[in-house]
Amino acid sequence: MKTILLSSDDEDIKKAAQIIGNGGIVAIPTETVYGLAADALNGNAVRKIFEAKGRPMDNPLIVHISDIPQIYPLVSEFPEKAKILAEKFWPGPLTIILPKSEVIPDEVSAGLDTVAIRFPSHKTTQKLISLSSPLAAPSANLSGSPSPTTLSHVCDDMDGRIDAIIDGGDCAVGVESTVVTLAEDIPRLLRPGGITVEQLRSAIGEVEIDSAVTNPLEEGEKAASPGMKYKHYSPNADVILLDGENNAVYEYLNTLTDKNAAAICYDEDIGRISIPCISIGSENDYSEQAHLLFASLRDADKMGYKTVYARCPRKNGVGLAVYNRIIRAAGFNIIYLEGADKG
Ligand code: TXA
Ligand code: MG
């Protein structure tokens, strides 16, 4: 299939809307990561997304809207707490799970009785939705790979597999949206992202954190969010997390003899580590780390490294989102050093 490259100007957004209207699939920019979109109400079109990504059919998709009232036909309930979150954080990197209405095709909800809804803040995608329909869209990477945060990442994974790609520049946040379910009595965080659990709690009170956010699923345990059961975000290189204080990490890395190893580290570490370093920003700037994380994993592969040692992020604020992604990229492989934070 020939994949056409579209810009974010009005003419090209109209072309994208036509492709969506004809049941095609288009990669779209959002503020979090690029998505791979189809008309959310067209089950056959949605099926093509799963084929292009190689995504298991039991992993449901997020439905993207461009205005809060568009949510009403899509859900069977819109409870007060969901309304508060929508008013406060939309448009933005927050996905809310609610009981679904009968218009949601099974392909979107993967047979669950809930649907995930998000109102992204990227203007190009808002325009596209308002010209076409609510869009079902997972991240626009091949299933299992790091999510794409630049146009070139999308081209690397999707050229020849989809109808079109819209260039919307680099993604600002860099990790996927926060996912919270309000389909149960107590709101629960299923995936951390740019809107922090601290922000959610200050808006609506109690929010639990699903154990799969920081822990591997137990044998036989059912994933609240099916995406959490798959190995995820992985480059070809093996990723190993190093949890420990600075000097312990430096000592560990500086005694390695592996010529094919690199480190994903912070700006402050540069010059103190003797193996090649890919920095994801300053140690205390969690947003910058989120912004650069997926690109750093893809860069490690491009540079040919076989093993990547990554510093262990803090688990507060947006740091929890960085931790959640990198621990999956590492398949929960952590080396605990002096000063490790095992909490
Ligand atoms: O930022 C984002 O959320 C990006 C952009 C494109 O919007 N999208 C994205 O989609 O990350 P995806 O498919 O890569 O991740 C969606 C996650 C998956 O872990 C999926 O299992 C979960 O949300 N999910 C979707 N619908 C769900 C539902 N009804 N119940 C529980 N989890 C759900
Ligand atoms: Mg994804």
Question: What is the structure's pLDDT at 223?
Answer: 80
Gap between the Cα atoms of 157 and 3, Å rounded: 12
Q: How high is the pLDDT of residue 225?
A: 80
Q: Tokens representing 128?
A: 């596209």
Regarding the beta carbon of 29 and ligand 1, being less than 6 Å apart is answered: no
| Residue 141 alpha carbon to ligand 1 centre in Å | 13
Query: In this structure, are residues 76 and 112 in contact, taking their beta carbons and an 8 Å threshold?
Result: no
Task: Give the pLDDT score at 232.
Answer: 76
Tokens matching residue 159: 């050229």
Per-residue confidence (pLDDT) for residue 218, from 0 to 100: 78
Distance 254 CA to ligand 1 centre (A): 39
pLDDT confidence of residue 231: 67
What local confidence, expressed as pLDDT, does residue 194 receive? 98
| pLDDT confidence of residue 221 | 77
Least Cα distance to 188 among 88, 110, 96 occurs for 96
What atom in ligand 1 is closest to the CA of residue 34?
A: 6
- The answer to whether the CB of 241 falls within 8 A of the CB of 333 is yes
The CA-to-CA distance between both ends of the chain, in Å, stands at: 48
Query: Which stretches in the chain have pLDDT values below 70?
Result: 229-231, 343
Q: Which domains does the chain have, with CATH numbers?
A: 4-213 (3.90.870.10), 238-336 (3.40.50.11030)
Q: Is 135 in the pocket of ligand 1 (CB under 6 A)?
A: no
Q: Is 154 in the pocket of ligand 1 (CB under 6 A)?
A: no
Per the CB < 8 A criterion, the answer to whether 122 and 30 are in contact is yes
pLDDT score, position 177: 98
Helix ranges, the chain (H)? 10-21, 43-53, 80-89, 106-109, 123-131, 151-158, 197-204, 246-254, 286-302, 319-329
Q: Give the ligand whose atoms come closest to the C-alpha of residue 122.
A: 1
pTM of the model: 0.96
List b or e across 315-335, with b for residues whose CB sees 16 or more CB atoms inside 10 angstroms: bebbbbbbbbbbbbbbeeebb
Q: What pLDDT was estimated at residue 229?
A: 67
The answer to whether 27 and 163 have CB atoms below 8 angstroms apart is no
Separation between Cα atoms, residue 315 and residue 36, nearest integer Å: 29
pLDDT computed for residue 343 by the predictor:
64
Contacting residues for 69 by C-beta, under 8 A, at least 6 apart:
none
